[in-house]
Structure 1
Amino acid sequence: MKKHRLLIAVLSCTLTFSTVTSCNDFLDAENISNSNETQQFDSTADTFTALIGVYNQVMGDDGYGQRLNLYFPQSADDFKTSGDFNCNDRRGLSTYGACTSNPDLNRPFLKLYSGIERANLAIKNIPLSQVYQTGSAADKKLMDRYLGEAYTLRAQFYYDLIKNWGDVPMQMVPSSDLETVYLPKTDRDIIYDKVLEDLSVASALVPWRSEAGGSNTRITKAAVKGLRARIALARAGYSLRREPRLMTQGSNPQVYYKIAYDECKDIIQSGQHGLNANFEAVFRALHDNTQDAANEVIYAAGAFGGNSRTDSKIGYYNGMRHDNASSWQSSGGINAIATYFYEFGKFDGRRDITVASIQINASNQAIPTTGVLSTDGKFRKSWTSITGSSQNLAIDWPMIRYSDILLMFAEADNELNGSPSAEAVNAVQQVRNRAYAGNIGQAGTIPTDKTGFFNYIVQERLLEFGGEGLRKYDLIRWNLLATKIAETKQKLAELQNGTGRYANVPSIIYYKITPYDRTRSAAAQISAMDYYVPAGVSKADVFYTPAPSTDPAGYLKANWRVAITADYISSPAKGYAQYFEANRKELFPIYDDIILSNYNLKQDYGY
């Protein structure tokens, strides 16, 4: 869709829970039609334009262009937002200390309901349209596809609402069809069950990738099934409930594990998607809006337009840092938690792509980061053709990858059978072997008992999806967020002190400035770095060998382990997840003005 630069459709401004003023401010887009609902859907072309209006609510600063994917998922045990605590900005979100007045909570909530409103209009009016009822078979098939896409997008919007705010109002018809817009909260399990039913319908309406044509920014059957599997696992898992205010598991979890199992197995058996042999290539393709060679990215949120509504700040706000005097200029606003680098084995090919332990200086050369300022590395402005101060880079966001399908399948299989089947073990092995390509002997052995296999998947998902916005929500549905935060704090203390598993981590990294070549792979650039290597030590062991007792001549110093301080771990301003409270902070508060606009809403969860 981005390739055709289609106009944004705005079908209605009857947003639930918002005032007329906030609605006008929010839907700052070109209205291409003043027609009524029926006329908006009286042809396949007009219907497609309306559908683009639904898709456009996925992207932008308030969607998967910045807040939903880069602000909201911090912090788990992989990444955190940079900077000092402020309850009224993104640092408040990252530290679990957000105020109810935090403006970053406002517009994403409204944007998701705007998307639901637009989807509701399509879902209502497509079956009523003249072209749907009396058009040709080809037109009917096309309109069915549009209907399936609208169902899927609505499900995605509700999933985003629930995973961040818990129980929310459920609205399944356009606002103009409601008796009142002052809706109360609906139990999330009811919403989940409804959208799972809708996705079952949608999967029969949309084509497989090979039948669809176009790019992966358009929903196909695998995208529908993958989202249904993800939501089913969330429904089977734990979440923070209103009454009593505790993390509890959803009812009848085996039913939902079976849904996830079946949907993932269908995708695997379809042969439509696979693992790209080159892990980095998966993310490089997102930078130039192309399909990766194996079609691993099943669905991506498409960014275009160079604006805050439909483009993204992926690669500018997050990703590897480029100095403001360099050719590229990007902020690197998400930092790897210092321990995350060491979760990867030294031969795991994902490490240097996922964790950028280098940055680009003012002279376009590569230098190391400190131990606390490594960034997420899957997105890099210098991997695009855009230079200068531009913030909107048209980098797509991976919503569902095939590796996620393999790991969800394995997880569901293990839960259903009480231990992993050979198919489940093989699914995980595929992901692991890709990570250790060229070093398969270092990949290790996958456990085959239920608990051991589950724990292995927990770790493997940490390594596979770092920086992709999944980890915090995985930990919540497993009821492991509090546990992993506590474990990470303990690991940080050990890393600070150089004890336990971190006994040989160097306090200082010694280096010489190295030329940067943006066409090199991440691994090749790290290999090219001019680090000081003590006698008898391989270059691969630089980050696993104590620093020499005296500074080697001719080398510069970068603080590595010594950069980790007590303040970094637990101070009020800089500490990691310092305001987290179990059975409360797993969810965000709803923005104050939204509560005030609907007398049937209240905060809950102790806010």
Structure 2
Amino acid sequence: MKKIKYQIAFLVVAIGAITLTPSCKKVLDYESDSSSSEATVFESTTYTNSALIGVYNRLCGDNGYGSRISTLFGITADDFKTSGSYASSDRRGLSMYGASSDNTDLINPFAQLYSGIERANLCIKFIPASTIYQSGSASDQALMKRYYGEALALRAQFYFELIRNWGDVPQRFVPAAYTDNLFPANADRDQTYDQILADLKLAEDLVPWRSAVADYGSFRFTKGAIKGLRARIALARGGYSLRSKSHLMERNPDYLKYYQIALDECKDIMDNPTQHSLNPVYENVFKTLHGTRIDDAHELMFEVAAFGSNASTDSKLGYYNGIRFNAASTYGSGGGGMNAIPTYFYEFDPIKDCRRDVTIGVFEITANSKKLINTLNNFTDAKFRKSWTAFNGSSSSQNFAINWPLLRFADVLLMYAEAANEINNGPTPEAVEALQRVQKRAYAGYENSIPATPTDKAGFFNALVKERLLEFGGEAMRKYDLIRWNLIDSKFTETRTKLRQLINGEGAYANVPLYVYAKESNYNLTPSVTEVASLDLYGGAPSTVLFAPGLGSSTAPTGYTLKNWRKALTEDNAVTGISTGFATYFEANKKELFPYPKTALNENPNMVQNYGY
């Protein structure tokens, strides 16, 4: 694919020269450390664009949505957790809610988010002050206004990520060189939220719909994506959060004001179906992230792009997480950094819901390049797969150029349904339709068998809680949903109860087998439902074997390998263990937020550590 290089400088704060690749991956890489003044940069649409891409760059890489923020920060919930054994100073500390302030996976993302804010602040200050913005040609003014709106949206995203992980974070809405206070104290998150909500309202009027952007590729903000982000932030603003003063999970009395914002924004997007709609094939949404565009409906409203085979601009999606590939296979090493909560597999309809086999890595790829079912405690996430990329065993790269889905149209539908239910004290017909659109896509071929839709407020809300669990598994959303609903503590308790029932074969899990017996079978790269259905298990198809008691013997039939199923789970390794238990160190009204990195506190003496650390 043709590559066009723009070499420009972006102020002394280090955006430098940029390589821009207008192909299936529009990402940047740095090639020099030249610099220039704002007078040069922001009096050219080309240079301004390059400066703005330098802001987008702060979304990328190992310390952005290419790894840590996407695959560590949103874990654990009742869908997935991090694999491996607990240590307070690494990724497992985050996953088990026992991170310390010297956790090595916190400081660099924290710093990168603030770096993004600083870069955005520079664009936000100088773009509207430029001559070309104020009195340039009509086309140049429109382009500069678009760039201004994108910068506002990017700053909002950076602040949103900081707030939902740390709460009352320090704020600055002007560049550091133009403030008297280089060490701001913790700021009231509600004030920060209100500022970025106002910014996004301005931005959505400046940035066009995707169809009006000639080089649209879902890697930059457009009107629809900004509206969707504003709806998401509004629901967080109107939801519960751990408060610094009371040390309690609370939401403000005026929360319905923010639900109304979410409702209005989502409706605007839904009223423009030619811009964004549901991809008719659930699996194709995620295959699109891997490079082959099969999302003509533009369900992917905003992706964080990945490119360059480096830690700064690419991602480790599919290498760190996703389906596990044996290093000796023809695909080379990949996957395995996240494990499904064993009960999550049984939340899906066993036959009709296609999302389970797209979302959960039931099988792994062996040294023989064949597939073999995992044990029940060793499932992975599966929306990111090395085999869906162009990379194979001949490449030693850990970067597969897989994008991160930051916003999907399915989320717009479910946010709309949630807001409508809350505002109207029960679901409207439009809210029911929005929920059912998501369900019918999931039940492709069984559309008439979707779950019955409750008509009361509480029942409809519970249906939405369940639907978001099934729809967004592995997309780092569930934890934050549970927090804003103030359900994280109760759902964790519920999950531990379910895990114990699964271990004991009780209740809904009475027919789950102790063991299964498997053979390697060909990995055909067929659609996920077909791929899972063709696993070679003693006793028939997985839809039968994994839902029936089976032989119950620890001796496998001739020709088959024993796989522990319920037998793989214990109270220690699955529920309360200090090493691999389920969210073992979570404490309500304490651990809904991360600790501030010790380094950040040392550098800014006006910051105060979060409660409980």
TM-score by length of 1: 0.95
- Aligned equivalents of 1:549, 1:45: Cα separation in 2: 68
- Distance in 2 (alpha carbons) for counterparts of 1:244 and 1:383: 48
Unmatched 5+ stretches in structure 1:
16-26
Q: Aligned pair in 2 of structure 1 residues 326, 403: CA closer, same or farther (>3 Å)?
A: same
Cα displacement string for residues 529-555 of structure 1 (whole angstroms, at most 9, x for unaligned residues) = 111126xxx652221101214543322
- 2:282 alignment counterpart: 279
From the superposition, tell whether residues 549 and 32 of structure 1 become closer, same or farther in structure 2 (CA, over 3 Å).
Answer: closer
Matched-pair contact (CA < 8 Å) for 1:9–1:52: no
Once the 2 structures are TM-superposed, how far is the Cα of residue 381 of structure 1 from its aligned partner? 0.5
Q: CA offsets, 1:400-441, max 9 Å, x none?
A: 101000000000000110001000000000000111111224
Structure 2 partner of 1:595: 601
Q: Which amino acid aligns with 1:234?
A: A
Q: Using the alignment, how far apart are the partners of 2:251 and 2:293 within structure 1?
A: 39
Match of 1:333 among 333, 337, 352: 337
Residue 472 of structure 2 is aligned to residue 465 of structure 1: yes
Deviation track 1:194-244 (CA, whole Å, cap 9, x = no partner) reads 000000000001111111132010111000000000000000000001101
- The answer to which of 270-279 and 282-291 deviates more is 282-291
Q: Does 1:403 align with 2:407?
A: no
Match of 1:480 in 2: 487
User: What RMSD in Å do the two structures reach over aligned CA positions?
Assistant: 1.8
- State the match for 1:294 in structure 2: 297
Contact 1:9 1:30 survives alignment (8 Å): no
8 Å contact from structure 2 (residues 148, 206) kept in 1: yes
SS of match in other structure, 2:546: helix
Residue 495 (structure 1) shift: 0.5
| Cα displacement string for residues 104-132 of structure 1 (whole angstroms, at most 9, x for unaligned residues) | 11010100000000000000000111211
In the alignment, is the contact (CA less than 8 A) between 1:420 and 1:449 conserved in 2?
Answer: yes
Distance 1:227 1:478 in 2: 18
1:268 corresponds in structure 2 to 270
Contact 2:166 2:610 in 1 (8 A): no
Q: Of the candidates 483, 486, 511, which is equivalent to residue 504 of structure 1? A: 511
Cα distance in 1 between the residues matched to 2:558 and 2:355: 33
Q: Does residue 517 in structure 1 map to residue 559 in structure 2?
A: no
* Matched-pair contact (CA < 8 Å) for 1:10–1:32: no
Letter in 1 for 2:302: Y
**In structure 2, what is the Cα distance between the partners aligned to 1:606 and 1:505?**
40
Equivalent residue number for residue 585 of structure 1: 591
- Contact in 2 for aligned 1:356/1:375 (Cα 8 Å): yes
Q: 1:100 to 1:8 in 2, by over 3 A?
A: farther
Q: Is the 8 A contact 1:319 1:380 kept in 2?
A: yes
Structure 2: distance between partners of 1:155 and 1:573 = 37
SS at match of 2:583: coil
Distance in 2 of aligned mates of 1:476 and 1:556:
42
Going from structure 1 to structure 2, the CA distance change for 1:513 and 1:28 (only over 3 Å counts) comes to closer
- Alpha-carbon distance, 1:11 to partner: 3.7
Per the alignment, do residues 549 and 93 of structure 1 end up closer, same or farther by CA in structure 2, a change over 3 Å counting? closer
Match of 2:19 in 1: none
Indicate how the Cα distance of structure 1 residues 442 and 541 shifts in structure 2: closer, same or farther if over 3 A, else same: farther
Q: Which residue of 2 aligns with 1:242?
A: 244
In 2, the alpha carbon distance for the partners of 1:577 and 1:392 equals 29
Match of 1:343 in 2: 347
Q: Does 1:387 align with 2:392?
A: yes
CA contact (8 A) 1:2 1:303 kept: no
Give percent identity, aligned residues only: 52
- Shift in Å, 1:331: 3.3
Query: Which residue matches 1:362?
Result: 367
2:433 aligned partner, one-letter code: N
Between the aligned partners of 2:375 and 2:167, the Cα distance in structure 1 is: 37
1:375-454 correspondence runs (5 A): 375-388=380-393, 389-454=396-461
CA shift, 1:557, in A, is 1.5
Structure 1 residues 45 and 251, CA, compared in 2 at 3 Å: closer, same or farther? Answer: farther
Number of residue pairs matched by the alignment: 592
The 3 A distance-change label for structure 1 pair 117 and 549 is closer
Structure 1 residues 7 and 251 mapped into 2: Cα distance closer, same or farther (>3 Å)? farther
Deviation, structure 1 residue 357: 0.3
Going from structure 1 to structure 2, the CA distance change for 1:190 and 1:299 (only over 3 Å counts) comes to same
Q: Which amino acid letter does the alignment assign opposite residue 559 of structure 1? A: N
Contact 1:275 1:403 in 2 (8 A): yes
Alignment gaps of 5+ in structure 2: 16-27
Question: Matched residue of 1:410: which SS?
Answer: helix
Q: Check the 8 A contact 2:417/2:431 in 1, yes or no.
A: yes
Partner of 2:22: none
Matched AA of 2:105: D
Looking at structure 2, the residues matched to 202 and 251 of structure 1 have their Cα atoms a distance apart, in angstroms, of 27
Q: Are 1:573 and 2:579 an aligned pair?
A: yes
Looking at structure 1, the residues matched to 149 and 90 of structure 2 have their Cα atoms a distance apart, in angstroms, of: 36
1:50 aligns with 2:57: no
Q: Distance in 2 between matches of 1:11 and 1:476?
A: 39
